Amino acid sequence: MDSNTIYTKEMFQKAPRELRESETIKRPSISYWSDVWRRLKLNKLAMAGLVILIILGIMSIIGPYMSDFSYYEQDYSAINLRPNKSYWFGTDELGRDLFSRVWLGTRYSLFIGIAAALIDFGIGVIYGGIAGMASKRVDAIMMRIAEVIYSIPYMLIVVLISVVFSSTGAGTSMFVLILAMTITGWVPMANLVRGQVLQLKESEYSMASESLGASKSWILKKHIIPNTLGPILVNVTLTIPRAIFSEATLSFMSLGLQAPRPSLGTLVSDGLAVMPIGLFYQILIPAIIISLVMFSFNVLGDGLRDALDPRLRK
């Protein structure tokens, strides 16, 4: 239609009275998390990380059963074999099957990482939530305590605790490793939760809920924590690789999981011992897997952070 068109009365129609119909939302509404997921899907690197993690997760569950050999069985007629038809990843210097050891090690490493992150999450949310909701005085005291704990170098305390427990003779158990990592590891999470709580406490919906007679714990549970889940999730995703990395470093100091139980860290440090005699494959495979795990969690965490950040929404 060009600008010269003359509009006549006949060209118009009366709008139907059913205004309500025009007000209804035809498209399904998108929830917060499906919106996040939609944006995360666009991030190829993060999706690659997710896919790798799923594959590694599945392999860590079924991998040890796929091999004909157990992770602890020693066969002195088959030591230091290179990868072949019956031993897919080869054997180590005690003749143990590296295929089942690598996947079991992946399982233990993932378990340690996830458990440490979940415990950090639990303590951090409770401590940070209480500090954020409490009076200023209590908050100040709680935060001073957290500040001191956080200034204690993470790795030093992890090493000390592992030394003490491994000296009891029982060796470093999974429980001790996780304890050592969470004893100072929860502080960043608590700080994060407290900051969010302080901010959200002043929001309109918290005030509305309070004026309707809701208790503090109700507001915390129903309004504040669900809204802080995003940043918390990012933090959890980035805590897991840190814990896995710490466990691997401990293995290097002979403070890792007790033999014959493998972890990715103990496998790498065992592999290092035989590398000078030319058996490079023994360190290569666990090194690649540990790097893949770290890579995947890191890119997934970054992707989640971008997907959750409302400032990046277009």
Partner 1 sequence: MSKYFVRRLAMSVVTLWVIVTITFILMHSVPGNPFANENKNIPEVVYQNLLKKYGLDKPLSEQYLIYLKNIVRWDFGESMKSNTETVNEMIARGFPVSAQLGLQALLIALIIGPALGAIAALYQNRFPDYISMIVSIIGVSVPSFVMGTFLIQFVARNVDWLPIGGWGEWRHTILPSFALALMPLAQIARLMRSSMLEVLGQDYIKTAKSKGISRTAVILKHAVRNAILPVVSILGTTVSNLLVGSFVIEKIFGVPGLGMFFVNSIYNRDYTLIMGVTVFYAIILISMLFIVDIAYTLIDPRIRLTKEGR
Residues in touch with partner 1 (CB under 8 A): 144, 147-148, 151-157, 159-161, 163-164, 167-169, 245, 248-249, 252-255, 268-269, 272, 275, 280, 283, 287, 290-292, 294-295, 298-299
**Identity of the amino acid at 248:** A
Least distance in angstroms from the C-beta of 265 to partner 1: 9
Q: What are phi and psi of 89, to 5 degrees?
A: -110, 10
Q: How far is the CB of 74 from partner 1 (least distance, A)?
A: 24
Whether the Cβ atoms of residue 78 and residue 95 lie closer than 8 Å to each other: yes
Nearer to partner 1, 206 or 301 (CB): 301
Closest Cα partner for 203 from 211, 231, 36? 211
Question: Closest CB to partner 1 among 81 and 264?
Answer: 264
What is the smallest separation between the CB atom of 253 and partner 1, expressed in angstroms?
Answer: 5
Determine the distance from the C-alpha atom of residue 78 to the mean position of all C-alpha atoms in its chain, rounded to a whole number: 38
Dihedral over alpha carbons 115, 117, 123, 129 (to 10 degrees) = -140
Mapping DSSP to helix (H, G, I), strand (E, B) and coil, where does residue 133 land? helix
Q: How far is the CB of 123 from partner 1 (least distance, A)?
A: 18
Q: CB 238 → partner 1: shortest distance, Å?
A: 10
Specify the residue, 122 or 153, whose C-beta has the smaller distance to partner 1. 153
> What's the closest the beta carbon of residue 4 comes to partner 1, in angstroms?
43
Q: Which of 108, 83, 78, 71 is nearest to 243 (CA)?
A: 108
Beta bridge partner(s), residue 97: 91
First to last CA, the chain: 33
Secondary structure class of 97 (helix, strand, coil): strand
Q: How far is the CB of 261 from partner 1 (least distance, A)?
A: 19
Q: Of 64 and 301, which CB lies nearer to partner 1 in the complex structure?
A: 301
Amino acid 115 reads A
Matching residue, tokens 């899907």: 41
Residue owning tokens 């089942």: 100
Closer CB to partner 1, 34 or 254, in the complex: 254
| Nearest CB to partner 1, comparing residues 78 and 292 | 292
Distance CA 131, CA 139 (A): 5
Least Cβ distance, residue 174 to partner 1 (angstroms): 19
150's tokens: 């956080």
CB nearer to partner 1: give 34 or 167.
167
Cβ closer to partner 1: 47 or 292? 292
Is the C-alpha dihedral spanning 41, 46, 50, 52 positive or negative? positive
Question: What are the CA-CA distances from residue 232 to residues 99, 107, 145, 196, 304 (Å)?
Answer: 35, 24, 21, 10, 11
